[in-house]
Amino acid sequence: MKLLLTSCGNANKSIEKALLELLGKPFKKANLTFVPTAANVNEGDKSWLLNDMNNFKKLGFASFD
Protein backbone atom coordinates (compact mmCIF):
# COMPACT_ATOMS: atom_id res chain seq x y z
CA MET A 1 0.00 0.00 0.00
CA LYS A 2 1.22 3.49 -0.85
CA LEU A 3 -0.06 6.67 0.78
CA LEU A 4 -0.03 10.28 -0.28
CA LEU A 5 -1.33 12.52 2.47
CA THR A 6 -2.20 16.11 1.64
CA SER A 7 -3.91 18.88 3.52
CA CYS A 8 -5.31 20.40 0.34
CA GLY A 9 -6.39 17.44 -1.75
CA ASN A 10 -5.33 17.46 -5.36
CA ALA A 11 -5.01 21.24 -5.47
CA ASN A 12 -2.25 21.60 -8.03
CA LYS A 13 -0.29 19.80 -10.72
CA SER A 14 2.68 19.10 -8.42
CA ILE A 15 0.47 16.99 -6.14
CA GLU A 16 -1.01 15.22 -9.16
CA LYS A 17 2.51 14.54 -10.47
CA ALA A 18 3.69 13.24 -7.08
CA LEU A 19 0.73 10.88 -6.92
CA LEU A 20 1.37 9.59 -10.43
CA GLU A 21 5.04 8.98 -9.61
CA LEU A 22 4.12 7.22 -6.37
CA LEU A 23 1.69 4.93 -8.20
CA GLY A 24 4.07 4.06 -11.02
CA LYS A 25 1.11 3.46 -13.35
CA PRO A 26 -1.68 5.45 -15.00
CA PHE A 27 -4.58 6.59 -12.82
CA LYS A 28 -6.99 4.45 -14.86
CA LYS A 29 -5.15 1.33 -13.66
CA ALA A 30 -5.09 2.32 -9.99
CA ASN A 31 -7.59 2.36 -7.13
CA LEU A 32 -8.09 5.28 -4.77
CA THR A 33 -9.61 5.37 -1.30
CA PHE A 34 -10.57 8.84 -0.09
CA VAL A 35 -10.79 9.13 3.71
CA PRO A 36 -12.90 12.18 4.61
CA THR A 37 -13.08 11.66 8.38
CA ALA A 38 -10.26 14.13 9.10
CA ALA A 39 -12.73 16.84 8.07
CA ASN A 40 -15.03 15.93 10.95
CA VAL A 41 -13.20 18.34 13.27
CA ASN A 42 -14.06 21.30 11.02
CA GLU A 43 -17.43 22.86 11.62
CA GLY A 44 -19.51 24.63 9.02
CA ASP A 45 -19.44 24.50 5.26
CA LYS A 46 -17.54 21.54 3.83
CA SER A 47 -17.93 22.30 0.16
CA TRP A 48 -14.12 22.29 -0.05
CA LEU A 49 -14.22 18.58 0.85
CA LEU A 50 -16.63 17.81 -1.98
CA ASN A 51 -14.41 19.80 -4.35
CA ASP A 52 -11.38 17.76 -3.27
CA MET A 53 -13.25 14.49 -3.81
CA ASN A 54 -14.44 15.59 -7.25
CA ASN A 55 -10.93 16.68 -8.27
CA PHE A 56 -9.63 13.20 -7.47
CA LYS A 57 -12.55 11.54 -9.29
CA LYS A 58 -11.75 13.58 -12.40
CA LEU A 59 -8.34 11.88 -12.60
CA GLY A 60 -10.12 8.70 -13.75
CA PHE A 61 -9.14 6.04 -11.25
CA ALA A 62 -10.29 2.47 -11.95
CA SER A 63 -11.98 2.46 -8.55
CA PHE A 64 -12.79 5.35 -6.24
CA ASP A 65 -14.02 4.56 -2.73
What is the arithmetic mean of pLDDT over 27-35? 92
What stretches of 1-65 show up as alpha helix (H) in DSSP?
13-23, 47-57
- Domain annotation covers residue 3: no
d(CA 64, CA 2): 15
- Domain annotation covers residue 29: yes
Distances in Å between the Cα of 7 and the Cα atoms of 13, 21, 24, 37 are 15, 19, 22, 13
pTM, two decimals, is: 0.78
Closest CA to 32 of 9, 7, 8: 9
Q: Is the pLDDT of residue 11 over 90?
A: no
pLDDT of residue 5: 83
- Domain annotation covers residue 7: no
Q: Is the pLDDT of residue 29 over 90?
A: yes
- Domain annotation covers residue 4: no
- Domain annotation covers residue 30: yes
Q: Cβ–Cβ contacts within 10 Å for residue 55, how many?
A: 14
